[in-house]
Amino acid sequence: NAGVTQTPKFQVLKTGQSMTLQCAQDMNHEYMSWYRQDPGMGLRLIHYSVGAGITDQGEVPNGYNVSRSTTEDFPLRLLSAAPSQTSVYFCASSRLQTGELFFGEGSRLTVL
Amino acid sequence: GENVEQHPSTLSVQEGDSAVIKCTYSDSASNYFPWYKQELGKGPQLIIDIRSNVGEKKDQRIAVTLNKTAKHFSLHITETQPEDSAVYFCAASNGAAGNKLTFGGGTRVLVKP
């Protein structure tokens, strides 16, 4: 029972490079989301999706793109990495309405 | 949008003592208030949640109280143990956009043996 799987776990980028953080869930959850975690600032929502083909912006969407072509996958794309995007990124999924949000183990990104 | 404030940011307690973490929220439409525990190097995990039609909920050594009038809710951990050492997050949601949660800034709890 894999739950929510994120790859890669660690990544170092240079300023201006692009990359994709992968997220997959095997629980048939309609809702998926991406958060970033920075010291003292808790978890801030980047983008979320309520189903395949539907995405929306969260609190801090600038510099990130998402797509949801299947129920299982929700990749996060950094278009042109900046040092301010150095953070730990968490993908989470759940049933559509309020209920337990299941988190992946996180992806630590460093932008030099 | 919703804003959730969490206090304190760090909390050190002696094993066996109680720990209390408090959160306030701004959106009166919020109706779901979960608490998550994050251990080192892991993703957060739900430990307890409460909905707006309930004032208090208990699960063994943890309890959550909600005051909708004052827009605050609290987590109480009794008889703390070393394995309770972690970062705890409160969150709030109004259910308007799927399971969109707004999190507080987190509380690092250290239980000293």
Confidence of residue B30 (pLDDT cuts 50, 70, 90): very high
**DSSP single-letter state for residue A111:** E
Residues 6+ apart with CB under 8 A from A67: A55, A74, A75, A77
DSSP string, B30-83: --EEEEEEE-TTS--EEEEEEETT-SEEEETTEEEEEETTTTEEEEEE-S--GG
Q: pLDDT class for B26, splitting at 50, 70, 90? A: very high
In a mutagenesis test of the A interface, which of B9, B99, B103, B107 is the best target, namely the one with the most A β-carbons within 10 Å? B99
DSSP B8: -
* pLDDT of A14 over the 80 cut: yes
Name the token pair of A98: 């309020």
Using one digit for the tens of pLDDT, what is the confidence trace for B50-62?
988 878 999 999 9
Q: Which of A44, A48, A103 sits opposite B98 (nearest CB)?
A: A48
Comparing C-alpha atoms, which of A86, A31, A90 is closest to residue A63?
A: A86
pLDDT single digits (tens) B65-96: 999 999 999 999 999 999 999 999 999 998 77
CB contact under 8 A, B101 and A41: no
Inform me whether the pLDDT recorded for A98 exceeds 70: no
pLDDT score recorded for residue A99: 76
- pLDDT surpasses 80 at A41: no
Confidence of residue B5 (pLDDT cuts 50, 70, 90): very high
Average pLDDT, chain A: 94
**Three-class SS state of A84:** helix
Q: Of the candidates A35, A43, A99, which has its C-beta nearest B99's C-beta?
A: A99
* Residues in chain B within 8 Å Cβ distance of A43: 44, 89, 103
Chain B positions touching chain A (beta carbons under 8 Å): 1, 4, 6, 9, 31-32, 34, 36, 41-46, 49, 51, 89, 93, 95, 97-106
Quote the pLDDT of residue B52.
84
Query: With 90 as the cut, is the pLDDT of residue A82 above it?
Result: yes
Chain B residues with CB inside 8 Å of A92's CB?
Answer: 43
User: Can you tell me the mean pLDDT for A41-47?
Assistant: 92
What single-letter DSSP state applies at residue B74? E
pLDDT at position A1 is 66
Q: Please give the pLDDT value at position A30.
A: 93
pLDDT mean over A8-29? 97
Amino acid in position A50? V
Q: Is A34 on the interface with B (CB under 8 A)?
A: no
Query: Across residues A86-111, what is the average pLDDT?
Result: 92
User: How far off is chain A from B18, nearest CA to CA, in Å?
Assistant: 23
The Cα B6–Cα B25 span in angstroms is 9
